[in-house]
Amino acid sequence: MTLYETDMSQTSDEYPTTPNLWRPISNAVGGFDIDPASGCESEAIADTTYTKSDDGLAQSWDGIVWLNPPFSDKVDWYRKAVNEVNAGNAETVVALAPVDTSTQWFQNWFAKATVICWLEGRDWYEASGSPSFNTAVGVFGECPDKLIEFLETVGIVTQTVSTTTQETLL
């Protein structure tokens, strides 16, 4: 068994995304410039890839970024995605996440995505067996219409409508 054929029941928390998901997303955004959490995929997803030994968190992200972080270290990766977009370094970060809306990392970082697609089913990883969790795709920064059109074919898409403070009605 190769690394990218990891059994979901094993202790590894690095699961490669199935090409059935990342390829159409890549096509919709015109290709990925950087994959900062690379290493377990059967083929490169982006032009520039950083493996664990390259420390993708220490690198600058620019352009269009694909992010499928190790699940044991989600907070730092999603914080980095938000910060790189807010700093104007990355135009778009497309990130996967296990759905866990009750956690602080989800509320504080992943929920800041411009668009979230709540994926239908659980077969979004190149591994034997299905994970015990649902998965979401978050798009931070620019989200092309072509990407939204694809995401609507694989799940329920929600978009941030306002960042203003809600007013209290009397």
**How confident is the model over 115-169, as pLDDT tens digits?**
999 999 877 777 655 567 789 999 999 999 999 999 999 999 999 865 555 455 5
pTM above 0.75, yes or no: yes
CA–CA distance from 32 to each of 47, 102, 139 (Å)? 7, 30, 13
Q: Which DSSP string do the residues of 19-62 spell out, in sequence order?
A: HHHHHHHHHHHT-EEEETT-SSSSS-SEEEE--GGG-GGGS---
Q: How many separate helices (H) and strands (E) can be counted in the chain?
A: 4, 7
**How confident is the model over 93-119, as pLDDT tens digits?**
999 998 889 999 999 999 999 999 999
CB 126 within 8 A of CB 15: yes
Cβ neighbours of residue 149 closer than 8 Å, sequence gap 6 or more: 28
3-class DSSP assignment, residue 100: coil
Q: Where are the domains of the chain?
A: 3-159
pLDDT, residue 16, reads: 79
Dist. CA 140–CA 138, nearest whole Å: 6
pLDDT, residue 5, reads: 36
Fold of 3-159: Rossmann fold (3.40.50)
Is the pLDDT higher at 99 or at 24?
24
